[in-house]
Structure 1
Amino acid sequence: MTVLVEMSEEQVGALSAVTGMLVDVDRTINQLLAVKEGLLAVGSRLSFDIGADAAAAADPGLPDSFAGDAMDLAARAVAAEFAVALQSSDRSLQHRMTDADAKVTQFPSVWRAQGVGAITAGQARSIVDAGAHLDDESERDAYADEMIGLVQAPGMSPSRVGRAARRAAERRRPRSLDVRHRDARRVRRIWVKDRADGMAEFGLLGPAALIHGASERITAMGLGILSDTTARVEAGDDRFLDEIRADLALDLLLTGAPAGHDPDGLLAGVTGAVSVTIPVTALLDIDGPCAELDGSAPIDAVTARRLAAEAPGWDRVLTHPITGAVLAVDRYRPSAELKRWLRARDQRCRFPGCGYLARDCDIDHTTDAATGGPTEEQNLGALCRRHHVLKHQTPWAVEQVDSGTFSWTSPTGKVYLDTPPPPIVGTQATDDQPPPF
């Protein structure tokens, strides 16, 4: 038999040693992840106790929903404490706290198995995800024990564990698949994730039959385009199948009429809209800072100029020629002007680590207007609804220490500063301008 790659005894020995070290390091990482999940679960229990105490101490005349609100606010406050300390998103931390608590309390044997290095974090996640709907504790424990024994076999990657776990859980579920699917449909959604180089991902969660059907249809359309070689050569079309499918999907989403949901034809007139910040250098095709989509992701100059040419109107933001600080917005309508100014300055929610765009946020008085806080830029800032509520309803506190710098104090007394993100403008010093210091 022909051997394509020859390895010496020394190379085989080195490979074996590195593999062994990788296994040991990976086992240690998985054990530490189990410890981290245990701490997050403790945080979840702590937030539950804080919320329960607040609900118990509340006025009996408050509506029944107050207890739930108290629980949610306590979870937000604790998650925010963790997230800012870890330089993470408090939304994702709160989800991870909930997931960790479910794993530790509902699947303790899986958590312990990961903690001693018997299974990996990925295998544990597959087991927990597949068995999440097992409500009977004895069935859940039996399922977990079965899966822990199964994953000891060689080659049981998380994807293989997931398939086996779904089959094992299915045997133990009291509700039929039809009933569970009906409930699962209620969480269908779409999402967008920004990527590098002016790109973004578009995700869609929905019924499997419809998703696969849509994928097959787009693929069939793409193959039809690929098969017409003559037309592609004449048009100079050198796209691969994946490129064609992506273009078809976006074309259908942006221009197709939703006939099945629009009997009166009202939705057909709804068009997509985006906001972009475009430096004048990009409009003039001069090298300089790039354009940016909604303060979240850079876009290429060609796309920026096309959007500028088709835009019905513009807000021109005037900036300092050296520091790039926002000075004014040139449309004069008092309340709207101030909002535009703040959104140009803040670009996003001003809670540390939050990436919600300013246009989707509330304009909040840092010092409440009810206590004399002025309605001016030094006392205003963009806060998403989550962190707006966090500021008013939990021990988190904030003040503006200078122009646009927010100082947040957590319930444990730690202080975190959040400064405005730099605007995407070009700056240049001239002989008659002082240096920026």
Structure 2
Amino acid sequence: MDVTGEQMATLDELVDLLQSVERTISSLQAARDGILALGSRWAVEVADQAQHPDGADMAARSVAAEMATALRMSDRTIQRRMAEADWLVTRFPLVWAAQGAGRISAAHARVIVDAAEHLDAAEDRDAYSVQILELAEAESPNRVARMARRVAERFQPRSLDERHRDAREQRGVWVRDVADGMAQLGLRGPAALVHGVFDRLTGMAEMVQTACAADHDAPRSAELDAPAAVGDGRTVDQLRADLALDLLLTGAPAGHDGSAGVLGAIAAHVSVTIPVLTLSGRGDVAAELDGSGPIDIETARRLAGAASGWDRVLTDPVDGSVLAVDRFRPSAQLRRHLRARDQRCRFPGCGRSPSESDVDHTHDAALGGATREDNLAHLCRRHHMLKHHTPWRVERLDGGLLSWTSPVGRTYVDRPQPPNTVMFRDSIAPPF
């Protein structure tokens, strides 16, 4: 990518302008939420004066209709936004204030609030907000969503096991018709099982891609959502859908399996992080499904009991960084260490999991870069290509940090997300 210094300066100015505009948009969106919340409170006050059993709902409808007609919008949309805004402003004032100051976006605020919707105590919500806002100002919304679930778990009044038992009662399957003769099938169930289903479908789809590529002597695409092969043309997403329908309708991946039945032999791979005290029954810190969030302890223990081997991750007790990984049975130790340390693509803001990423040499192996932990990091295909084929540059810092430099000279530091760790207050000694 050959560009002049003047072109780079123009791009730098555009990025500055975009940042300024985004901060302004966030502030204005927060101001709009404040107005909508005031409208919601006005409706409550009017309803209280009327003392009618349906007064609150009718007053809210009236306010929504008033605002919607002025804005040429649906009153149902405005009423929903009023409720969401009142929830944000009333229950999470620190988050709303951060958005108003342009420190976070509306997307950040949404995932922060969604992760803590079950926190009833105001002091818990405020403490949660303080902790997650420190992280949110340096990360993208998709990364913050995972962090927020972890932080919110510390303030939950009920254990995850108790909540999971209640949530299991809501499992189900539903269908929704959409346009052009299509429909959507949804499923709600335990996270470990649902992610296992998706992983198994992905493994099958990738095997179909590989077989097609071999048949046509075509190289595999650098992007997961690119066409599978010249003779097939289906994307991974399309293959997952076709395979899911085949499996559900016939009980076997008909039409996609080879004579050896290799697709049916593909097993799901689900990675779970379990604090050792939780696994032994001496602690109640939640286990985590890698790439998703906390899961109930019972499911985690059953998965651990069925595992052919376990990874033990030694973390720094202060900052949670991964110090070492070993395994009770031999395997590719270095890859496990990298997976435990990185947990995602290491380009700033990217949330792709290690299973969707390549292990990249920060300093190119062809130029003498060593194949060891301090020169390796996960990069998804998109950002792997970006690193090697554009002026973006990456440098390794201490503590597993990666410093990325953009073509215009801006620097962004990506920090590994600490795995689930147990932290002790100064007054409490560790139990070992």
* TM-score, normalisation: structure 1: 0.47
* TM-score, normalisation: structure 2: 0.47
Return the index of the structure with the highest Cα Rg: 1
